[in-house]
Amino acid sequence: MSKSGIHVGVGGWTFEPWRDNFYPKGLAHARELSYASRHLSAIEINGTYYSGFKPEHFRKWAGEAPEGFVFSMKATRFATNRKLLATAGDSIKRFIDSGPTEMGDRLGPIVWQFMPTKKFDPEDFEAFLALLPAKEGSHVLRHVMDVRHESFITPAYQALAKKYGVSTVFTDSDKYPSFEEPDGPVAYARLMMAQADQPAGYAPKALDDWAVRAKGWSAKRDTFVYFINGAKEKAPAAAGALLERLGWKPAPD
């Protein structure tokens, strides 16, 4: 982990508008992860939500990143996009067995993202939480719920999350509901309101405020802040601007 306990980054590392923008002109596509992991302190892997990967993929990604860098990752959609979450056991096992812990200390939280139409069913959701492994081998797993229906914004859901030791995504989005502060053992923010007319996606005062909030969250727990959506082309600039405010410096290329 970083000395501050705060990791800041973006979703993925392959995005055409970042070329000749965030990435230097002419940088080989095969070197984009290496570059991104030295100019940010975290990346949330999105591809694992859509497709299966093998242990060698996870080892390769981890090997390209410097010490202290952390990858969060979205878990498979086949576990979360279903009518009965209690039946997700096989999908959860396949995902965990696919090798994310091959990343070692570069593995951050695993994000379980639910459809915006998925409503909170206390009995079924508790059955899902009970399926999530606390460990894989000697590696402690940290689980984060990305719940996107307003029915989850209730003390009953918070009580279940606390019982099973999981965290909940905080977002500034005007499309998805959120608790007023990050909830759970880790603070996990997905910021989605970047604007194309702002050089760093967010106004300087807004970035100042996010820096203050992130420092407050990190006083008691590891903190992850990802610039995910909105004007996505601005995400690396937003992450870099926040890292600068936190006193973080890029690693040598």
List, in order, residues 6 or more apart from 69 with CB less than 8 Å away. 37, 41, 42, 43, 106, 251
What residues does each domain of the chain span? Answer: 6-245
Per the structure block, which two tokens stand in for 128? 């899902």
Contact 105, 120 (CB under 8 A): no
Which residue, 190, 138, 125, is CA-closest to 164? 125
pLDDT tens column, 180-189: 999 999 999 9
| 31-42 mean pLDDT | 97
> Which DSSP letter does residue 250 get?
P
pLDDT bucket at 3, cuts 50 / 70 / 90: very low
Instruction: Round to whole Å and give the CA distance between 223 and 6.
Output: 5
pLDDT, one tens digit per residue, over 6-24 is 999 999 999 999 998 899 9
- Interior/surface letters 211-240, b for 16+ CB within 10 angstroms, e for the rest: bebbeebbeeebbbbbbbbbbbbbbbbbbb
Say what the pLDDT of residue 1 is: 39
Does residue 211 carry a pLDDT above 50?
yes
Confidence of residue 194 (pLDDT cuts 50, 70, 90): very high
| pLDDT value, residue 251 | 78
Report the length, in residues, of the chain: 253
Residue 4 confidence class, pLDDT cut points 50, 70, 90: low
Residue in this structure with the two tokens 């497709």, named with its chain if needed = 51
- CATH topology classification for 6-245: TIM Barrel (3.20.20)
Under DSSP, the state recorded for 196 is: T
At 126-184, the pLDDT tens digits run 999 999 999 999 999 999 999 999 999 999 999 999 999 999 999 999 999 999 999 99
Residue 2 pLDDT level (bands cut at 50, 70, 90): very low
